[in-house]
Amino acid sequence: MRRVLSVSLLLVAPLVLSGCLRETRPEGDTLPSLARALFDTLEAEGALASAYVVDAQTGEPLFTHREHVRLLPASTLKVVSTASVLSALGADFRFQTPVALEGTLDGGLFLGDIVVDPTGDPSLGSWRFPETALACEQVADALQARGIRQWRGQVRVRGAKEAEFPFGPGWAWDDAAYAYSAAPTAFVFRENVVDVALSRPAGADCAQPPTLQVTPAFATLTAVVGVDTNAERPSLACVRQRGGPGVRCLWRSTADTCPRSAAVRLSVDDPEQLFSACVEAALLARGIPRLPVTLEAPTPRQPSVPAPLVTLVSPPLSELVKVTNKESLNLYAERLGLRFARELTGTESYGALRTALSEELTRRGIPSRDLRPVDGSGLSRYNLATARGLVRVIFTSLREAYATALLDSLPVAGQDGTLAARPVTADTAGHIRAKTGTLSGQRCFVGVVDRPGDTRHPRVVFALMLGNMDDGTALPANEAFDRFAAGLVTLPLR
């Protein structure tokens, strides 16, 4: 029989916190009583709840519920990878990507290549930051400043990996076509994604192939779009083509509806090609064309030697971590994790990442039974974590120099990031910071809650992990989080 929560447990009422007189609350209303009602409701339907709350200053456990149970952490694992890289490199670290010329300059003609040495910067060419969005323009301006009016050669990325699909272990193939699962290649450009828009003119037959537009205009994407006019509901789904580049999409519509437009952001196979096309377009806009390789050119008077052209600099690590956690960007988390692995082991690989994270967790006193990370983003279905382990990552981070950078990266309920749409009250607004995590059947939350006026426990660190969830659960995961987090702000902890 499905349990029904009483009204007194559904509403978090004003109360008396230690050290602060507030309005009267229902008798017996405490965090443990609220949590028991929530978790009993979930577990009566076959879901599994795990929670752990500690004092942020002392680490004293204040509430526990199955805190030792291991579940999929999903994107809450980003807290582990971002805290680790902040610890190793510091909040002020910046990626620096050098670009050089390899060739000779004959008058205003450059004969040779524009060569990039990749450093793993996930933000290179990204639209999110002013200093990264104009990467191609920076390269073109530097060539123009050298007096170059024409060039013949190519844009090359030195040491680009041979693997076509360098995805993380345990990633789902169904995810591979989409932007949130873009491959964390050693060279990243424009977050390794392009925007695809599908459209049909008014009155067009839904059974006919739609018009496809790719943004940016210089991008190339191998995409095959089919249509299904007898679906249960309209949708657009894409998968990466096996055994070859590009994607295959299916635009579904119902028998009585014909959508006119749809959009999706897809991952690209070759970020080097995307960057090359971007640089060539920027040069052409400045009147510097690339000559065909078949066109005869004068014999160089000097030997070809590398010459530094420009260094593309990322925002500080604190800003990269902020967008990683607030927007839950998988590519950023993977690249930051792999950069952390290189710092500790000298190698960028998922094997090295597992080794480096294991050493980091040991340094923090977190046993492997509480955290077993295999990637940086949480996309892998091989990751395992306990609520206790996730809490310990944040608790130990609060004692390190980068604590503010990590805290500032967590979404704030009702304000920004993945918690922007969560409801808050006058009592809870601005006091709940948490990283969310979502995989099929799994919902996780880990973060920090401030308790205004509670002199004994003014700040707590918490984790709430929900497993075996489905769309039919009487108490949705977000609602359970909202009530639990509000209780952490306003209710007595005992």
Per-residue tokens: 212: 């496809």
What pLDDT was estimated at residue 28? 42
At 14 the pLDDT is 37
pLDDT tens, position by position, 275-310: 999 999 999 999 999 988 765 555 555 555 568 999
Q: In 3D, which of 7, 3, 9 has the Cα closest to residue 491?
A: 9
pLDDT classification of 394: cutoffs 50, 70, 90: very high
Q: How many C-beta atoms surround the C-beta of residue 215 within 10 A?
A: 12
Identify the three-state secondary structure at position 251.
Answer: strand
pLDDT band at 19; cut points 50, 70, 90: very low
For residues 50-69, give the mean pLDDT: 98
The Cα 54–Cα 462 span in angstroms is 7
Question: Exposed, middle or buried by CB within 10 Å (0-12, 13-18, 19+), for 197?
Answer: middle
Most confident of 150-164, 185-199, 466-480: 185-199
CB 54 within 8 A of CB 62: yes
**How does residue 73 score in pLDDT terms, banded at 50, 70 and 90?**
very high
pLDDT (tens digit, 9 = 90+) per residue, 187-199? 999 999 999 999 9
Query: Taking the CB of residue 399, how many other CB atoms lie within 10 A of it?
Result: 11
- Kindly state the DSSP code that residue 29 receives in the 8-state scheme: -
Residue 203: pLDDT band (50, 70, 90) is confident
Q: Which of 236, 284, 289 is nearest to 259 (CA)?
A: 236
Q: 3-state SS of 188-249?
A: CCHHHEEEEEEECCCCCCCCCCCEEEEECCCCCCCEEEEEECCCCCCEEEEEECCCCCCEEE
Average pLDDT over residues 385-414: 98
Count other C-beta atoms under 10 Å from residue 28's C-beta: 8
Q: What percent of the chain has pLDDT over 90?
A: 79
Q: What is the chain's alpha carbon radius of gyration, rounded to the nearest angstrom?
A: 26
Give, as one character, the DSSP assignment of residue 436: E
Instruction: Identify the H or E element spanning 21.
Output: none
Cis peptide before 216 (omega within 30 of 0): yes
* Residue 8 in this model has a pLDDT that exceeds 60: no
Cβ-based neighbours of 75, under 8 Å, separated by 6 or more: 328, 330, 333, 377, 378, 435, 436, 437, 438, 444
Whether residue 1 has pLDDT greater than 50: no
10 Å CB burial of residue 360 (0-12, 13-18, 19+) is buried
Q: Averaged over 411-422, what is the pLDDT?
A: 97
- Whole-number Å distance between alpha carbons of 159 and 97: 13
